[in-house]
Every structure is written in C-alpha cells, then in structure tokens.
Amino acid sequence: MTLTFRLPWPLLRVLRCVVFGASTSRGTPQRDGPPAINELYHARRLSLVRLAVLMVDDLPTAEDVVQDVFAALYQRHGADLRTVADPHAYLTAGVMNAARSVLRRRRTARAYVPPPPPPAPAAEDEALLPEDDQEVLAALARLTVRQRQVVVLRYWSELSEREIAEVLHVSRGTVKSTANRALTILRDALSESRR
Amino acid sequence: MNADIERRLRSALAAQAARVTPERLRPAVPPTAVPVRRPASMFLRRAGWVAATLLLVAVTIVTLRPTSSQPQQPPTMETPSPSGSSGAPSPSSPPSPSPSPAAR
C-alpha cells in the first residue's frame, strides 16, 4: 500500500519560490514584448560603458562593470523593474560604485605588485585623440576616485550638483568642494605639463 | 581660467567616450539570458526560514491537540458491599469448624 502525500499546487509553488528564490514574475514578464530590463540594457549599455571607460580607462573592464551592474539589477528587482523608482539613476550609481571598487582594488594591487607596462594604444586611437586631450586625460589620473567621479559626472554626464550628490550619496557641499579641489589639481597638472 | 579648464575637460572626456563605439563592444548579452546564480548563503538562509516555519507549525499543532496522553481504562464494575460503607468488599472468613477441646 502506497501512502501518497500531495501538496496543493499553489503551496508547492510558494515553497519552491521561498527555497530557490524563483520569482513568478522573473523571466516571464506580465506584459507583451521583451522584458523591461532587456530594453533598458539595449538602450543604455553603450552610454554606460562610455561612462565606465571614463572612470576605469580600459574597455574590457568597463564592459564587465556594466554587465555586472545589470546582472545585479536583474537579480535584485527581476525583469519588469516595477520596484525601481528611477532605473537610470540606479544604473548610473551602480556603475559609479562598481568603478570605484575596481579602482580601489587596482590601487591596492599596485601597492604590492609593480604595474605592468601600459598597452600600446592602437594607431586609430592615437589618431582620434588630440595631444591636448591626452594631456587632460593624463591629468585626470592624478585625481582621487571621488574627485574623478565628480568631474566625470559633471563634465561628461552633465549632471547638476544635486544630481551628483544623489548618485554619490554625499551632500551638495561635498560635491562643490570636491569639484573645486579637482579643478585646482587639474589646472596645476596641466600648467606643469606646459612648462 | 576655470572656464578654459572646463572646456578642455569636456573636450577630452567627449573624445575619450567617442572612442567606444558599438562595433568595439562585445556581443550583447541581456541580463535575462544569463541564469541567475544565487549565493549558497542565500539558499541556506531561505532553507532556514522554511525549517523555522515548519517547526512553528508543528509546535502549534502539537500544542493545540487535545491532551489525551493516558489511555482510558475501562470502568470497573463495583459490586455493592453489604455494609454499604466500604467500597472494597472484605473477605469474610467462614466460621471455623474446628472442634473444641472439650468435645474430644
């Protein structure tokens, strides 16, 4: 004689969701068309990789940063993104935080291991970048991570002080003083290079 | 002076960003195309919650059950005693038929 114990199907689904974390809405959007996160990915990927490149200086790392940020967003909020108030601000902040982690790890590693020789830039890259731009980008490397974040968000993303403060979770006064300090360092570095 | 620095900054950042073109990017892999890998700690935490919930349910069920721990004994049939005072009948010894010494 076999004793069968059958749980009702909804209860089984709830148990499976609790144990394995599989949301019923994850991967199966409620509306027609591709999931919202995929649309956002295709729309914002290029601009976010550019933002990350301005922070970490190399393309493969920048692509990894952006991919990780989207993966974290999907893992935390699912595919439809209903629980995210402002996905664009969320992504910008995510890229900034991930880039800061990369730069800190890189600087810690450089304290113990001598840095490898920088890769030779491709000929087309050399042709694309004027000498003046190369000087400015070299001066950017002298900034701290926080100063670089503020400069990139201010002069490339064209965010206001208030928006930068929200993305970086600091006060507006901190943004203003950090930007002033960064401009002073850049001015000194560029005047040095002109001598 | 700041205006000049700002202009140069904008120019340099735009030039650096423009080097990243769609052709140079790796093939796009949308987030939903990658299986979500959850850390083992999250699985253990969820399993712990399930175990705690089941334990709570079990304790509740055991607590709310009617307590009938001792098996019920069948009622004993009591025979009324002649005296009516004591419940347990005392065995009465029959009168001894032993002959008296004077009878020998």
pTM value? 0.65
Q: A179 to chain B: which residues are within 8 Å by CB?
A: none
* Closest by Cβ to A63, choosing from B1, B26, B46: B26
pLDDT of residue A164: 95
- Distance (Å, rounded) from C-alpha B11 to C-alpha A185? 18
The structure tokens 């970490």 sit at A56
Cβ atoms of A109 and B72 within 8 Å: the answer is: no
Parts of chain B with a pLDDT under 50: 84-87, 103-104
The structure tokens 């920048």 sit at A62
In terms of Cα–Cα distance, which of A159, A61, A166, A43 is closest to A105? A61
Give the Å distances, CA to CA, from A72 to A54, A62, A77, A87: 21, 15, 8, 12
- Best mutation site among A14, A46, A131 for testing chain B: the one with the most B CBs within 10 Å? A46
Q: A67 to chain B: which residues are within 8 Å by CB?
A: 29
In chain A, positions 19-48, which contact chain B (CB-CB < 8 Å)?
19-21, 26-27, 34-35, 37-38, 41-42, 45-46
B20 or A3, which is more confident: B20
Rg of chain A in Å (alpha carbons): 23
How many other C-beta atoms can be found within 10 angstroms of the C-beta atom of residue A141? Answer: 9
Side chain identity at residue A127, one-letter code: A
Place A96 in a pLDDT band, splitting at 50, 70 and 90: very high
**DSSP 3-state of A49:** helix
Residue A114 pLDDT greater than 60, yes or no:
yes
pLDDT (mean) for A31-57: 88
Residue A12 pLDDT greater than 90, yes or no:
no
pLDDT (mean) for A38-48: 94
| Longest CA pairwise span in chain B (Å) | 155
pLDDT of residue A104: 87
pLDDT (mean) for A116-137: 71
Q: A63 to chain B: which residues are within 8 Å by CB?
A: 25-26
Chain A nearest-CA distance from B66, in A, is: 24
E-strand spans in A11-81? none
Residue A62 pLDDT greater than 90, yes or no:
yes
CA A49 from centroid of its chain's CA atoms: 8
Task: Let me know the angle formed at the C-alpha of B97 by B94 and B101, rounded to the nearest 5 degrees.
Answer: 140
Highest mean pLDDT among A15-24, A146-155, B73-82: A146-155
* A98–chain B Cβ distance below 8 A for any pair: no
Task: Let me know the angle formed at the C-alpha of A48 by A43 and A51, rounded to the nearest 5 degrees.
Answer: 150
The encoded tokens of residue A7 equal 């749980």
- Distance (Å, rounded) from C-alpha A37 to C-alpha A164? 24
